[in-house]
């Protein structure tokens, strides 16, 4: 099993962010876990990461509703910069709005729409898909 993968969590809720990070650490599946509190911080951080490491995370877990830049702002900018990237983005949200789910489907980089909380089993499944 390849444990050289990097995962990124973009989430403004500090409690949910820490819970998800701890759960991912517990799996021992990822060599690196990046975390950001809003879409703008994530975009800038990931572009910096890309310039330093010549790569991007394999998986991004992206909350929808965040301050400064929400998921849609992040995706609009990220998609412009990462042609050919083979990673996976999963929207993670507590939203039950079908409009959000339909909007997520408009982005080719978004591979799934997950309701919070994301389970331990789902993290393992996502790892195995990438």
Share of the chain above pLDDT 70, in %: 96
pTM attached to this predicted model? 0.91
> Which of 2-11, 55-64, 95-104 shows the highest mean pLDDT?
55-64
> pLDDT tens for residues 9-25?
999 999 999 999 998 89
Q: Round to whole Å and give the CA distance between 77 and 71.
A: 10
| Alpha-carbon distances, residue 35 vs 87, 92, 108 (angstroms) | 16, 14, 23
Q: Does residue 32 contact residue 58 with C-beta atoms inside 8 Å?
A: no
List beta partners, residue 60: 8, 89
* Band of residue 123 on the pLDDT scale cut at 50, 70, 90: confident
* Band of residue 130 on the pLDDT scale cut at 50, 70, 90: low
Domain boundaries, the chain: 5-129
> pLDDT tens for residues 19-70?
999 988 988 888 999 999 999 999 999 999 999 998 999 999 999 999 999 9
CATH number of 5-129: 3.40.50.2300
Q: Round to whole Å and give the CA distance between 30 and 23.
A: 11
């Amino acid at each position: 099993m390849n444990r050289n993968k990097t995962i990124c969590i973009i989430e403004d809720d500090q409690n949910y962010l820490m819970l998800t990070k701890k759960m991912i650490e517990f799996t021992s599946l990822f060599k690196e876990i990046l975390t950001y509190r809003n879409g703008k911080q994530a975009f800038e951080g990931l572009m910096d990461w890309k310039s330093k490491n010549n790569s991007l995370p394999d998986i991004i877990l992206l909350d929808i509703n965040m301050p400064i830049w929400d998921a849609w702002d992040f995706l609009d900018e990220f998609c412009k910069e990462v042609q050919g990237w083979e990673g996976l983005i999963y929207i993670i949200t507590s939203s039950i709005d079908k409009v959000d789910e339909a909007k997520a489907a408009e982005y080719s980089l978004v591979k799934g729409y997950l309701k919070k909380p994301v389970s331990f089993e789902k993290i393992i499944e996502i790892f195995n898909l990438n």
